[in-house]
Structure 1
Amino acid sequence: MRSTHQGLAFSELLVAIVILALLSLIVVPQYGVASVDREADAAAEIVEEVQAAIIAHWQTHGRYPSEIEAAWFPQGKMMTPYRPKVNNALIEYGGLGEQDPFDVRLSGPAAYWYNPSNGNFRAFVPDQGKPLETQRLYHKINR
């Protein structure tokens, strides 16, 4: 007696695997982009909060603060979404007339840049592999 039930043919199995592989190529990069966007949004919020505190200091005292205070950060900690385990991120200080840091990449120990002569506060960003993409992320965060 012959069985009428047959298993999947090798070609059918191969087609199913190819379809799953193509779907994963679509879904996985979108997850990575969403993660980068969440980190960028969190960093932009931090920059906005600290910048608001710098402006408030200037309005009260008639000058920009010489140092950034941890109390100006969310939860009173100098944190960065790009280094979540660091509770006290370092700040690099700029010189007279500098609008932005020379290198915007998060490569050294400092997570932020501040120029007390003009009140500019910036967040360093992770290298995105291409200079233009790194600059885009930097400008998205530091509006």
Structure 2
Amino acid sequence: MTKQFRPGGPHTPDDTRAAAAAIGEAARALNHATGDRPGLASAADVSAILGSLADAATDLKQVLEQCGQFLQEEAAAGQASTVPDGGPSQESDQALDDAVIYLQNARSNASLLSTYLAHARVAAGGLHPQPPARGDAAGN
């Protein structure tokens, strides 16, 4: 049974993790579909796929920003710590700083990915199928 996602909610942590897992599954399906000639019929198919991937990369930027913001809020509330009792520590501060920096870098790269995919979509959209080559006038 396919999981139904509700963009408007309500959201649970399990639903959120399932949505993230579905992105990975969809990427694996695309890997197989685009490697199999029947999975693509024309440059228009590639253009449509690239457009969808560009949209996904744009949405991913927001997810990454929100995850970083959540971690910062949890740390400020004492809910995210490398210490079992939740006390402050330099290790916790460093882990948070590292996570936020990595998420900021990932967000920047998602932004670049979205831009490049959008440009590739436009370029691929200008490609049109050509009729099969015909033999010369003698039928060869």
TM-score with structure 2 length normalisation?
A: 0.32
More strand by share: 1
More helix by share: 2
TM-score with structure 1 length normalisation?
A: 0.31
RCO higher in 1 or 2 (8 Å CA, sep ≥ 6)?
A: 2
Tell which structure's C-alpha radius of gyration is larger: 1
